[in-house]
Structure 1
Amino acid sequence: MTDAGVNFIPLLIVAATLASFIVSGVRARSREASDYGFGGRYIGRLGGGAAIASNWMSAASFLGMGGLLYLQGYYALAYVIGWTGGYVLLLVLMASQIRRFGKYTAPDFVGDRYASPGARLVSAAISITISVIYCTAQFKGIGMLFAWLFGTSYPNGVILGAVVAVSYVIISGILGVARNQQLQYAVLIVSFILPLMLLAHRLGYFWALPQFGYGVAIDDLAREFGIDFTAPFASGSLFEWLALCFTLMVGTAGLPHVLSRFYVVPNNRDARWSLVWGLFFIALIYWSAPAYAVFARLLEARGGMVPPPYAAEKMADIIVIKTAVMGGLPSWMIGILAAGATSAAFFTVAGLLLTGAASLSHDIYYRLINPRASETSKMAIAKGAVVALAAVVLIIALHPPGLIAEITAVAFALAGNTIFPAFLLGIWWGRANRHGVITGMLTGVLITFATPLFGKFVPVVAELFPLTSSAFIGAPIVIGIMIAVSLLTPPPPEEVRRFLAEQVHGHMEAE
């Protein structure tokens, strides 16, 4: 690395932004393991929505989605539809009921609803695996950003970024406090949309609402350069598109660190309205990502710098930053954009590592191994788990298996094939039992990884269960297996069925 390669102004802005959040996190720090990742005061529906959006925004949203849209055009809108549609599914099917159960984590819900330590263990292992896969995508984004900021190689960037990210989590403790997340979302939305507005203005398009103004740029691409950005299935078939949309929807509704957000609201009505506001705040980012992709293609074409496919794929995950550079934005504005992207990845890494740590320290160590564990020992286990999980993620991220959004989609597929069916039947069907849920979740794991395991030997497996889209067929199969096995085995304990009937569905809270 040489000093000439360092982007000083963006680096200073990124460092200042992260430092401000570390200070904020330290001030709000909690010393109880019960708050290490999931605590936080209730701060209203609007604030809760901002917290949900901040909890959701990641490198996949900030960088990966723009990269896929840049590569695939219309086809990549499956990510926009799937990830936003998942929140609608969650709103309709589970938000209020999750609040009424009032459990601490996804494994907590599964273990108590199905009265099974075994089901809790399987769910905890799946939650940890989801965290590792999801974190790998974030580490790739962090690595690319740090490599660009410091003018160094990707491996050096990902190692440096990993060290900073883990230090960020350990030093600050609970960075998931809801009020802090409101501030995080404000930073994210400003840093993503402000450069886009300036970019649209410089290119001569409607800048006040660039989410609408970029439509003219799509027409210009087609008219001037013959690039059709709206061809529906140029990058895949209708089946693949539908499978990806469905998988991302059910995966969103089953993602552990998303579900945990509903445990801190005071009533069902606020749970629903927080989710509605969260969906709106998330959509502001998602409506903006396609504009970056279109402007990138337009700037390349007008500059005579259209890269070959392999080169385009290599830089797709950082195309949002490159678009700002190609558009001639000032360094301080590019720094603001980079700060938002880095913050999004860091916030998500913090949430995911804490989710995985909670599964190890609370759901496995405390609930299954040492029920008498003190808060101090649980905190020590949680912090050790953060470091251990980060080390595993770092090793994988040094040689990432795909684009940021594609890696993230695998985590969603796993959640959609396992956690989502367990929650859906656990809430809505009192006859579902531990035998059914354990068999179903294990089947879901097998289905998720069927393509890398069996795809080469049985080609039809790869066609029916794509790695990023396996829940389209997989989730219904898992639900069917859970129902069949539950009917063939003894029913769950009567007290569980009574709680479900009386407390979850039998009354409505005052609204």
Structure 2
Amino acid sequence: MTIGQIQLLVAVVYFAIVLGVAIWGAFHTGTEEDFLAAGRTIGPWVGGAVLAATQISAGTFVGTLGRHYLTGVSWIWIWFGVWAGWMVSAIFVAPKLRRFGALTVADYVGTRFASEGARTLAAALIIVTYTIYLTAQFQAIGEIASAIFGIAPLVAMSALLASTGFYTVLGGVRSSSYIDFVQTLIMVMALLLAVPVVISHAGGIAALGEYVGSIEPRVTGWWFTWKELVAFAMAFGLSIAAAPYEMTRYYSMRDVATVRYAIGISLVAQALIGSTVMILGIGMRGLFPYLSSPDQASSILASTVMSPLLGSLFLIAMVSAIMSTVNSILLVTGGAFAHDLYKRLVNPHASERRLIWINRVAIVVLGVIPFWFASRKLADVQTIVV
């Protein structure tokens, strides 16, 4: 088989699984609670995979791997800030949100402060902020696909919107949770399989460390000061503890104990992902020490270093990372519009069936808007995110 045929086969199998789970989820979605919280039936293993998949995005596979390529070992300390944020969430945030039993973050804000104004403001901020963030995600997939496959960015962005929007609209949180479980397995497996390949090409751990240290001693030592690392870690940790697209996932889990177990499982998955990404970034520095951009490391790893089959799996893992993040954001913004704005301000007596369809329409519209902005490339990805 040619490389193109292998890539096509892997992609077909992957999307067939996604389609099957989406259709299954649609048949188990009868109420708004089913659509936005999976009927509160998600267990710890699926829940843990969901939290990991939601956090891990293209930024991890491209940006973090590239950061390790450039700065080496010391960037790994950022993960401890991320994990500290998860611990804060497990101890203080998650139990309160799950006991409250809301469907959206704005739902909690409005009831907690007994203010419809606060609810409306929270929903509006979530929609605006995440519309901007989604613009960056669409633009990123366009640039990645263009660099690796030579595909027009608009085609790649259209494929992302169509595929992710399809399974999100069909089954809501239930479908997305089980698809996230599959995507997390793919991401972890792809990274674990890539590590021995890169180490073998580099001549072993000892040879790799010696070589990259001779190129740039800070790669195997300290690139950042401890103050810089603490600042980075705090920024990432606080963002995790307060991210609406992570927080809303707690509502779908069975109870508080399930949420805490899920966070623990998520931390294990993130530890595997974080450590393997570090090794791959440093390994690529040893194999290709003078790339024009650190962000090229992951695409060259998949297309040049790995076999066609493993490279295809790695590319699917990158796509999975983007899809899981986009999916979670679409659910949050769609829920903010349908549950917190439409139901509260327009039609308080809307039927469950109507609310599900309003959620679906909102997801489509709030997916098309950032797609439109991304197609015009009004700024670079990093500027949009910041």
Query: CA RMSD, aligned part only?
Result: 2.9
- Deviation for aligned residue 1:172: 5.2
- Report the Cα distance in structure 2 between the residues aligned to 1:264 and 1:153, rounded to whole angstroms: 37
Name the residue aligned to 2:219: 229
Name the residue aligned to 1:162: 161
Q: Percent identity?
A: 25
Q: Map of 1:71-86 to 2, 5 A cutoff? A: 71-73=70-72, 76-77=75-76, 79-86=78-85
Q: Deviations over 1:142-188 (max 9, x none)?
A: 22343356422334433443344333433554454544433332222
- Report the Cα distance in structure 2 between the residues aligned to 1:179 and 1:325, rounded to whole angstroms: 29
Name the residue aligned to 1:359: 336
Q: Which one has a bigger Cα radius of gyration?
A: 1
Q: Is 1:275 aligned with 2:263?
A: yes
- Deviation for aligned residue 1:17: 0.6
Aligned partner (choices 1, 5, 10) of residue 7 of structure 2? 10
Q: Is 1:326 aligned with 2:304?
A: yes
Q: Is 1:22 aligned with 2:23?
A: no
Name the residue aligned to 1:219: 210
- Deviation for aligned residue 1:368: 2.5
Q: 1:27 to 1:270 in 2, by over 3 A?
A: closer
Q: Deviations over 1:49-78 (max 9, x none)?
A: 223223333222333321233344456446
Q: Is 1:139 aligned with 2:138?
A: yes
| Secondary structure in structure 2 of the residue aligned to 1:132 | helix
Say which structure, 1 or 2, has more relative contact order (CA 8 Å, 6+ apart): 2
Q: Is the 8 A contact 1:111 1:120 kept in 2?
A: yes
Q: Map of 1:111-260 to 2, 5 A cutoff? A: 111-148=110-147, 150-171=149-170, 173-174=172-173, 176=175, 178-205=177-204, 213=205, 217-223=208-214, 225-226=215-216, 228-230=218-220, 232-233=222-223, 240-260=228-248
Q: Which moved more, 1:66-75 or 1:255-264?
A: 66-75
- Report the Cα distance in structure 1 between the residues aligned to 2:200 and 2:320, rounded to whole angstroms: 26
Q: Which amino acid aligns with 2:366?
A: L
Aligned length: 382
Name the residue aligned to 1:455: none
Q: Which amino acid aligns with 1:52?
A: L
Q: Deviations over 1:226-252 (max 9, x none)?
A: 453145456xx7655433321221111
Q: Deviations over 1:353-376 (max 9, x none)?
A: 111000000011112221111223
- Report the Cα distance in structure 1 between the residues aligned to 2:90 and 2:212, rounded to whole angstroms: 38
Q: Deviations over 1:180-239 (max 9, x none)?
A: 43333222211222122322233332xxxxxxx5x762332112x3453145456xx765
Q: Is the 8 A contact 1:40 1:176 kept in 2?
A: no
Q: Is 1:388 aligned with 2:365?
A: yes
Q: 1:58 to 1:272 in 2, by over 3 A?
A: same
- Deviation for aligned residue 1:332: 1.2
* Structure with the larger helix share: 2
Q: Is the 8 A contact 2:36 2:335 kept in 1?
A: yes
Q: Which amino acid aligns with 1:277?
A: I
Q: 1:201 to 1:78 in 2, by over 3 A?
A: same
Q: 1:44 to 1:135 in 2, by over 3 A?
A: same
Q: Which amino acid aligns with 2:280?
A: Y
- Deviation for aligned residue 1:312: 0.7
Q: Is the 8 A contact 2:99 2:256 kept in 1?
A: yes
Q: 1:70 to 1:274 in 2, by over 3 A?
A: same
Q: 1:157 to 1:181 in 2, by over 3 A?
A: closer
- Report the Cα distance in structure 2 between the residues aligned to 1:145 and 1:24, rounded to whole angstroms: 26
TM-score by length of 1: 0.67
| Secondary structure in structure 1 of the residue aligned to 2:102 | coil
Q: Map of 1:438-453 to 2, 5 A cutoff? A: none
Q: Map of 1:467-478 to 2, 5 A cutoff? A: 467=386
Q: Is the 8 A contact 1:80 1:286 kept in 2?
A: yes
- Report the Cα distance in structure 2 between the residues aligned to 1:43 and 1:384, rounded to whole angstroms: 25
